Chains A and B, each alone.
Chain A
């Protein structure tokens, strides 16, 4: 071919020069564990469903389905969960944690409003599982088991399903229509629930009903009593009974001045309930100080707003008609309260004891291998008791006693029961490296203050059982979802695609694999990893 003077080679593109051979490190896309997902007791992959929710519109339903894969109670969770996800949220180090809980509530309410349903797609396994207790743990297990193709029967001693969600959580925190709808959605999947059906011996029931496995989740419904000398006319009741009686026709009469003894969330619930029942004074007596209270701070705050009074560093010595004797305490250097001998009289028409709850374990008496320690049933990592085929979860096993933990137990037990019934190894979640704040490039995130959920006006909070905390409206929920930093997981911001000096990132689009590296040309400079806002790219050494 004729070439110009002094030209000996044809021109060509530099793409013939595969600069990938220079590389000593290669970038790879990772899916690290965001702190929210790592902290969720119910095992929700929070960041993943927020990713869908960020898109709004059809994304809401995808997000909701993402929650439903792990937790059948999004609307309940969005109201009663103490959201450890938000406590761990990396955004808190930037401005404020993402309001995950409020977005979950929005999605749960959206599902109820739109009537979204889930279906059982697994083929019937032919196995039958008995669930004892229709509380959060039992219903969660039943939901997952039925979706895995098993036949599920739930026995509950109470007149209605819901357990502590119904008989322990006041309606101003969890309206019953929300609870009923989410429970009904589980029952509609074909879960068979028998109410007013106490179980006295689990072994007898297993034999009688020919069940292949049992999940025990009877909760902790017995209020702990402390010995307090009391006069004959003194009105003393426990908080669990008080809250349970709120579900019956007749409302309890407490009087004008009510004292609640204890410092946990149940004590707060009891005091706030007493306020709403007409008590002019509701006083919480607690033997330590506010910072040592096991109750969650926002609940304490809400109670104080409603006029609940607090009496710190006090124990109750004696109860009599219309009054009680209180002793002032002092914290010693270890933080333990010590009596001072200083006594004081407190007017009180009723004393409500909120000193913790216990489980009635009579149903597991005589079960071979099953161990009970400190009033709760021991389980292994599969949630199985010492007796093969009998699993347990919720408040009756050693763990934090919250609805979310209980729901998580139900899910975990269901997956392990499924594996055990099929004689296969349970699918363990992939081992994901944690995605800490240090892995993020926070430059790319704009400051965005958290959105605030509306609250019911104070007058109505003191006299009615209407829900206190309102939900977010659509645009606010979308804003809140979009505050998510997407820690450790790509959210398709195009940064890697843009900042590569070698055009060695290919934009594919799509969710699973939005981008790919072109290792023919990637020199391994690492700019993509350094500039990835969410830490979804890591540099790994090449094998040379």
Chain B
């Protein structure tokens, strides 16, 4: 009989590592020498997706830059839970200024390093969806438009969680927040509002734009490493579930992110110079109900009687993503 090509079928390439894999096939997170840029003792909630996403992204960036990295942070959960005075969870040079100016601060750091001839040191700007899509959007667009040598990472948990779950322009339709008609017949965010930061970033035709989730670590790390191969403005948008704001189990943070990807609600792709070059295919497609029912922010859709019309509209959004990005075929449209 013919010899099978020897692969690791036990976990394939989905798990973080594996004792049987060569070191270069394992993720950065599988290594004992990973930077732990965001170390223990931070005050993020149990099961925080943002804490996880930030360590994933920055550890990968630290490895890609041999530790020559500076981060500028916008105001938000990530900043608050990591640096309650006088403690810091950051194990890299890290700077916080204001809510809305993280892209501009990052630009400034990059400019200063250039002046000093230290372009070997790379700069990351980072923030949540509020600081990125709303408050800091002008600074971000400016940074893109000038093609400043900064990787900006947005940790998207789809609302202002730090201040008590208020709606942002990344909040999905029908999701309940503290200020989107919290009660009444039609609680939850309205349809027809909000924006897609990755698509806007692509419209700037910057060298590299990508989306990722905390559910696919190999993919996330690949995208950070890839982003670090470019000079100029780069943008990585990472979906990070928030157990508190989404009303999900703390243990399900990774699972919920996986469902966001497998329903098609959160398309995972990468783009270079404004064009999509790769799309993560849906591996086991699931209906949006499975994603929605696991989160209390959508609980009003599953009352008696359930709001099948709203669920159908959300399914239509997922289906549109699947069509638009080619999430269910080998080649993207």
A residues adjacent to B (C-beta < 8 A): 7, 9-19, 22, 54-55, 443-446, 448, 451-452, 454, 473, 475-476, 478-479, 482-486, 491-495, 497-504, 507, 509, 514, 518, 520-521, 523-527, 529-531, 533, 539
Contact = CB atoms under 8 A, between A and B. Distances in A.
A54 B86 contact: no
A445 B40 contact: no
B217 interface: yes
Contacts of A498: 16-17, 27, 29-30, 217
A502 B3 contact: no
A contact patch SS: loop
A482 B8 contact: yes
A444 B12 contact: yes
A531 B11 contact: no
A521 B41 contact: yes
A444 B13 CA distance: 8
Considering residues A12, A446, A486, which has the most beta carbons from chain B within 10 angstroms of its beta carbon? A446
B54 to A, nearest CB: 9
B87 interface: yes
Contacts of B284: 443
B4 A13 contact: no
Interface residues on B, range: 35 or more
A149 B306 CA distance: 70
Interface in B44-62: 44, 46-49, 51-52, 55
Contact of B1 (A22, A473, A523): A473
A64 to B, nearest CB: 19
Given A476-B1, A501-B55, A530-B251, A14 B41 contact: yes
A526 B3 contact: no
A491 B19 contact: yes
Nearest to A511: B19
Q: Taking chain B's interface residues, is the majority helix, strand, or loop, or is none over half, making it mixed? A: loop
A445 B14 CA distance: 8
Nearest to A514: B19
Contacts of B9: 445-446, 448, 479, 482-483
A485 B30 CA distance: 20
B39 A13 contact: yes
A162 to B, nearest CB: 30
Contacts of A9: 85-86
B238 interface: no
Contacts of A529: 251
B7 to A, nearest CB: 8
A498 B254 CA distance: 11
A533 B10 CA distance: 10
A55 B46 contact: no
B46 A523 contact: yes
Nearest to B82: A14
A451 B19 contact: no
Contacts of B7: 446, 448, 479
B258 interface: yes
Nearest to A506: B32
A525 B251 contact: yes
